[in-house]
Amino acid sequence: MKVFISLFSFFFIYQCQSQPFDNTQIGKDNNSLLWEISGNQLSKPSYLFGTFHLMCKEDILFSENLKAAIKYAHSLYLEMDMDDPSNTFGALIYMNMKGGITLKDLYSIENYKKVEYFFKDSMHTGLEMFQKMKPEFLSTLLYPMMMPCKSMDGVEAELMKLIKADKKQINGLETIAFQASIFDSIPYEIQAYSLLNMIDSIAAYKISFNNMLNIYKSQHLDELEHSFNEEPGFTDQREWLLDNRNKDWIEKLKKIMKEENIFIAVGAGHLVGEKGLINLLTKEGYTLKPVKNN
């Protein structure tokens, strides 16, 4: 569920109405993936939206309020810029492990044979071509197997279509190099264990994945947080994948939102919890309000 892209930005000036919708559209509870950010000397509100990196295409639906918030914003900020084709090719550079380490170095003979057989039998591909690839990236290749459909897409890709229709800029909060450093920070042995555990428990992972997806579509953030915390192997990686990045993003967003009102779209897991963006922005003095998003 991780995406590799790079930061590319410039100022884009867009004239818009003073508010995308009136305050009667603000939700009364936390059951929303769309949040208004105001206060703390912001001249105009910005918006925060939680995405899901891989969904059945027919399940990606945007509310009128979300469309209005995007139209109101000067630009879109994703985890990383997905609008530069060169970044897709550049990402290939960072997929391999450092130090000449291979998958065979990370597993016992028995466990390596188990992974090798799975890729040959279920993925219909040999493992030799992936010898140097970080196990975390290999794990992402398994997610399409968990989907109840063949036509898949990311929420970010659909958001980009709306932004491009208004000829607005797409920016990123991180670079390819930084994203790569995250997966180098997680010990390769832990990544290898997670991949093996995923293979051993693929049926359970499929249930867990679809449960999380259904909770995401329900927009119940408390349940979403619980679901992320219960995801097998996630606790060991939370600090690298969520907490540290959220802290870094807050410092960047404080500066960006002073200059322009923006639409921020990041994985929904970044929104929830004590160290999530909603709570961290609130602690910085901003007012966060859930927006009706049905």
Query: For 233-258, what is each residue's pLDDT tens digit?
Result: 556 667 878 899 999 999 999 999 99
The whole-number pLDDT of residue 83 equals 79
Confidence of residue 148 (pLDDT cuts 50, 70, 90): confident
Confidence of residue 14 (pLDDT cuts 50, 70, 90): very low
Confidence of residue 90 (pLDDT cuts 50, 70, 90): low
Q: In Å, what is the CA distance from 253 to each residue of 48, 67, 258?
A: 11, 21, 8
Confidence of residue 199 (pLDDT cuts 50, 70, 90): very high
> What is the C-alpha end-to-end distance of the chain, expressed in Å?
24
Of 80-84, 90-94, 104-108, 120-124, the one with minimum mean pLDDT is 90-94
The whole-number pLDDT of residue 28 equals 46
Cβ contacts of residue 28 below 8 Å, gap of 6+? none
Report d(CA 21, CA 182) in Å as an integer.
Answer: 38
Report d(CA 38, CA 44) in Å as an integer.
Answer: 7
Residue 20 pLDDT > 90:
no
The whole-number pLDDT of residue 252 equals 97
The whole-number pLDDT of residue 27 equals 43
The whole-number pLDDT of residue 89 equals 66
Tell me which residue of 9, 16, 8 sits closest to 43, measured CA to CA: 16
Q: pTM of the prediction? A: 0.84
Residue 232 pLDDT > 60:
no
Residue 85 pLDDT > 80:
no
Report d(CA 272, CA 278) in Å as an integer.
Answer: 7
Q: Check: CB of residue 39 under 8 Å from CB of residue 286.
A: yes
pLDDT digits (tens, 9 = 90+) for 28-60: 467 899 999 999 999 999 999 999 988 999 999
